[in-house]
Amino acid sequence: MLGAGGHGRVILDSILEANTHTLVGVVDDDPAKAGTALFGFPVLGVPSDLPGLARRHGIDGVALGVGDNYAREVKFREVVRAGLRPICVIHPSARISRFAKLGEGVVIMAGAVVNPGTVIEDNVCVNTSASVDHDNMLERCCHVFPNATLTGGVRIGAFTMVGSGAVVNPYLTIGKYSYVGAGAVVIRDVGEGLTVAGVPARTIKKQENRPG
């Protein structure tokens, strides 16, 4: 697993609960963490060590324990360049429809629901108890925070974040690079690169972050 911070701790727990992969250890950007342990699993080094670690330990995949969309995209690319597969981590208490489609490196945490017809592209995080209803489209590297609700037919753009407890009404589009504040209620489309907040949600500023 890549990432030994708070988000990584939740991902590690989900890996163990799912029991679908054998966890060898963790890498993290902070070299000071090498030689320590996360819930008993060794921190083996930094991400640039992955090719050597893969050969030494027979690793074929990496789970991404990074919450920030832009940092997670950088790490996703590092994993692929190392010749490894970004693996999906699905907590066993999540409810995923057989008619949903998931890309690579997707994380779906405890209590989340993903309903039929939804497509989740690569490197997306659906966090704890989030509700993703029917026929949604979650573009790559977006993040749906805990307890957020996406009703039917919603499209979430690449690198967009939907804050904790936010609600997005049916058949709306949230443009890429945008941020929906915690507890917001979105009742109309949100353009690209905007931060919206409130009930109903209103634009409060431009969101300038872009992938590196």
Residues marked as catalytic:
134
What is the number of other CB atoms lying within 10 angstroms of the CB of residue 49?
15
Three-state DSSP class for residue 57: helix
Lay out the sheet containing 173-174: strands in order across.
101-102, 119-120, 137-138, 155-156, 173-174
CA distances (Å), origin 31, targets 19, 48, 86: 28, 11, 22
Q: Apex CA 10: angle with CA 8 and CA 16, to 5°? A: 100
Contact by Cβ (8 Å): 85, 61: yes
Give the strands of the sheet with 113-114, arranged side by side.
95-96, 113-114, 131-132, 149-150, 167-168, 185-186
